[in-house]
Structure formats: C-alpha cells, structure tokens
Amino acid sequence: METTESEGMAFSLEDGAVTLVRGSSVDGVADIPGTVTIGGEELPVSCIGRGAFSGQPVTYAVIPENVVYVAQEAFSDCLFLEAVSLPPGIRFVGRRAFYGCMSLRRADIPGGTECIGEEAFSDCMGLGSVSIPDSVDFLGDWAFSGCASLREVRVPAGAARIGEGAFSDCASLERAEIPDGVEEIADWAFFKCMNLREIAIPDTVRRIGGGAFSDCASAIRVHVSSGLEAMGGSALFGLTLLDGEGGELHHDPASLRGRTFEGSAGVLRQV
C-alpha cells in the first residue's frame, strides 16, 4: 500500500483504488481533490475512507465526481455539517456515514446509488428533506432513524425490504410513500412516527414486522396489503381497527388483509 498527502489530507493506494484516509477542512469547508499523485501517477480519488472526517468541524463537504463509496463513519458526528454534495457516481453510502450530523438540513442522494447502509443518516435531527432514488436496492436498518425534522419520504421502488427501524422516531414525518415492489417492512420500521397521517401498505408487501407502525396514532387512513402473509406483534399498536359494523378486529393477516380503514384519534373503521 502506498500513501501520500495533499492539501492537508492523507490518501492511500491499494489494489488500484485511491482512498481518502484522513480529511481536513479550511474554514469549515472540506474540498476533497478529485485526483492525487501517488508513485508518480495522477489517480482519481474513488473512496472516502472510514472515519475520514469523523467529529471534525466541517460545515460543507464537496465530494469529487470519481468517488463511488462513502465508507463507514466517514462524516459521523460532524455536528456542524449543513450540506454535502454527493456526486452522480456514488454507489454506496456506508454504515453510519453521516450518523449524528445534527445540522444537516438536506440530503440529495443521486440516481445510481445502490446501497444506503445501516444508520447512514441516523440521528440527523435537522434533516428536513431527503430524496432517495429508485436505484437504491438496499435500505439498511435504522438508516434514517431519529431524523426528527423529516416530514416526507418516498421509499425507493428498487428496495424489496425496508430495513429494521429505518424511519423510526421520525417524529415530524407526515407522509411516507411505499411503492409497489416492497415485499417486507421490517420490525420497528416506522415506530413512533407520531405525525404519520396515512399508512398505505401496497399489495406487494408479504410481511410487516413487529412494531413496524407502533405508536403512529395520528393516522387517519390505513390500507393493509391484500398479499399480507405475516404480521409481527404490535405492528399497528396504538390503532383500533373496526369492521363495517363497528366490531374490533384482531391485528393479524386474516382479519386485516386487503382492508382500508379511515378515522381519527387512533380509532379507524373499515370503508
């Protein structure tokens, strides 16, 4: 492995790929060079390495176009990070890549991105807007948990599974669009999304995990997948679902499959 330094940052070359292993910033701006010279050859930077900027006083980060991978904890606990520009070549956002970036307001994830790792944007409490492209086919556990300012989200059509706790504790979330093609909503996926107004589970969903929509008591409309095969305990805890005659229904696939309910204050009747 060869190494070099440029603009106060450290880089390594291994198996033909250049990784930024130690970052730095000037007046809060992390302007990562697109290429560095190692061993007399100018090579593109393709990876932001593990923990490269973790805990640093970065307010804005410019990631060059050749980068395809933002590794584990690359920007974790950058408490002052307000904005980050992700290039169109990004394919993987690693585990806890932006964990705890409490000042981050917006995250535009470019088309072509395939993986958003576990806890990638967890506890980004100021994150009010995020765009997730349909190219994402892996949405990791707890990926956006604790994003208390997030109001709206659209799950990517390419993701067959919404990870465990992926949007849990998003207290301001009012709308979550779950497209056809999603087959599993894992445990605690939308737990404590207390302002979620509609729970629309598409007919492609086969399994809803335990606690998936627990404590979503502001829901005024619920549609349950007609293809539902399994439902974990407390999946819809906090909601009372009634049939057309006003009888309370058990929270199980046989009782709820294919039904739509409307109401308020945690009590909804089949329509």
Q: What is the pLDDT of residues 125-156, one digit of tens each?
A: 999 999 999 999 999 999 999 999 999 999 99
Q: What is the pLDDT of residue 71?
A: 98
Evaluate whether 97 touches 120 at the Cβ level (below 8 Å). yes
Pairwise CA distance, residues 20 & 39, whole Å = 16
Q: What is the pLDDT of residue 143?
A: 98
User: Which amino acid would we find at residue 153?
Assistant: V
**In angstroms, rounded to a whole number, what is the distance separating the alpha carbons of residues 61 and 244?**
54
SS3 81: coil
Q: Are 26 and 57 in contact (CB under 8 A)?
A: no
pLDDT recorded at residue 21 = 98
- Name every residue whose Cβ is closer than 8 Å to that of residue 46 and which is 6 or more positions away in sequence: 17, 18, 19, 66, 67, 68, 69
259, two tokens: 């039904």
**Where does the chain have alpha helices with state H?**
253-256
pLDDT at 85: 82
Radius of gyration for the chain, computed over Cα atoms and rounded to the nearest angstrom: 21
DSSP 8-state assignment for residue 132: -
For 41, the token pair is 């050859």
Positions of the chain with pLDDT lower than 70, given as ranges: none
- Residues 49-73 as b/e (b if ≥16 CB within 10 A, e otherwise) read bbbbbbebebbbbebbeebbbbbbb
Q: Looking at residue 234, what is its pLDDT?
A: 97
DSSP state of 182: -
Other Cβ atoms closer than 10 A to 12: 18
Judge contact between 95 and 117, C-beta under 8 A: yes
